[in-house]
Copies of this chain bind each other. A is one copy, B any other.
Amino acid sequence: MELLKQRILKDGIVKPGGILKVDSFLNHCIDVGLYNEIGKEFRRLFDQNDITKILTIEASGIGIACVTAQYFNVPVVFAKKSISKNLDGDLLVTQVKSFTKGTVYDVIVSKRFLNSSDNVLIIDDFLANGMALQGLIDLCNKSGAQVAGAGIVIEKAFQNGGKIIRDMGIRVESLARIASMDANKVVFED
């Protein structure tokens, strides 16, 4: 998606440790016009898939998922990273390892909101090592829902998450795939 790539080149900042900061337009301060274009592009890519639900994970996936859902006319479900008083009843739970924090956390969805009649589009802002995405796929599998695919805004294609998920037979569409990056240059695949 050319508009997104140009924005990353213009406003993205590469920090030591393989960090790409896109917080001025994607995941802290949000350009909602850009989210709209992202949503339209996901609709174009998954137009033939009869999506019934969009699944994402808190926090930065939620806005992208909600804006995208307008183009599919389906509900959004966002997986939670902690049990709250608002979560009760039968829960689907999986464990996700955080490489950056070195911890393992639960990812949780109420059973009421994912089931075997669903055909799910998973949406997230980043795909790097693929741990969060694998967790969301696992929640779909546990619920009996079908995974139509994953729509990712930025894939760090130099990490192995994309390969792992695609090797599982899951369709992954990333709007910007970064082949390499350093403080001077971001290089996209293709």
- Asked if residues B63 and A28 are in contact (CB atoms below 8 Å), the reply is no
| A75 with B110, Cβ < 8 A, contacts A59-B58, A62-B62, A63-B63 known | no
Number of copies: 2
Interface residues of A in 43-91 (CB under 8 A from B): 58-60, 62-63, 65-67, 69-70, 73-78, 80, 84-88
Distance in angstroms from A28 CB to nearest chain B CB is 6
Q: Known contacts being A19-B85, A28-B110, A88-B15, is A78 close to B59, with CB within 8 Å?
A: yes
Q: How far apart are the CA atoms of A109 and B15 in the complex, in Å?
A: 19
Instruction: Knowing A24-B113, A77-B30 are in contact, say whether A35-B88 is a contact too (CB < 8 A).
Output: no
Q: Is A168 an interface residue (CB 8 A)?
A: no
Interface residues of chain A: helix, strand, loop or mixed (majority): mixed
Chain B contacts for A182, CB-based, 8 A:
none
- New A-B contacts (20) at CB < 8 Å, excluding given A24-B112, A59-B59, A67-B70: A15-B88, A21-B88, A28-B80, A29-B76, A29-B110, A30-B66, A31-B75, A32-B66, A32-B69, A32-B70, A58-B59, A59-B80, A60-B62, A62-B63, A62-B66, A63-B65, A63-B76, A63-B78, A66-B67, A67-B67
Contacts A23-B86, A36-B70, A58-B58 given: A29-B63 contact, CB under 8 Å? no
Q: What is the minimal beta-carbon distance from A14 to any residue of chain B, in angstroms?
A: 12
Q: How many residues of A contact B (CB 8 A)?
A: 42
What residues of chain A have their CB less than 8 Å away from a CB belonging to chain B? 15, 17, 19, 21, 23-24, 27-33, 35-36, 58-60, 62-63, 65-67, 69-70, 73-78, 80, 84-88, 100, 109-110, 112-113
